[in-house]
Amino acid sequence: MTISKKYKLKRFASTNNNLRTKEVVGVILSEPEEGNSLTMISDPLDPEADFRQVTTSRITALEKTPNGWQFRTLNSVYSLTEEQA
């Protein structure tokens, strides 16, 4: 995996509102893995900030798809797809 690839993280369902947007585009630090959290770095929402970091809760179910992954965490359901350049 190349860390410079851009990915889109999209939340479909959640039991909390900790994520300020339903979609985040950025780079991931590692591929999703069941039992671990996913961390993504993206452009900041706040113009005074240097970057935005999104970290999910622990991944409890993971499925590889043709375009990326779909996964469930302790609180939410997501898809993660590679962004086309």
pTM of the complete model beyond 0.75: yes
Tokens of 9: 């993280």
Query: CA-to-CA distance for 15 and 7, rounded, in angstroms?
Result: 23
Q: Tell me: the pLDDT tens digits for 41-71?
A: 999 988 899 999 999 999 999 999 998 999 9
Q: Note whether 43 and 53 are within 8 A (CB).
A: no
pLDDT for res 85 = 64
Least confident interval from 9-13, 17-21, 59-63: 17-21
Residue 22: pLDDT band (50, 70, 90) is confident
33, 35, 50, 80 alpha-carbon torsion, rounded to 10° = 40
pLDDT at 72 over 90: yes
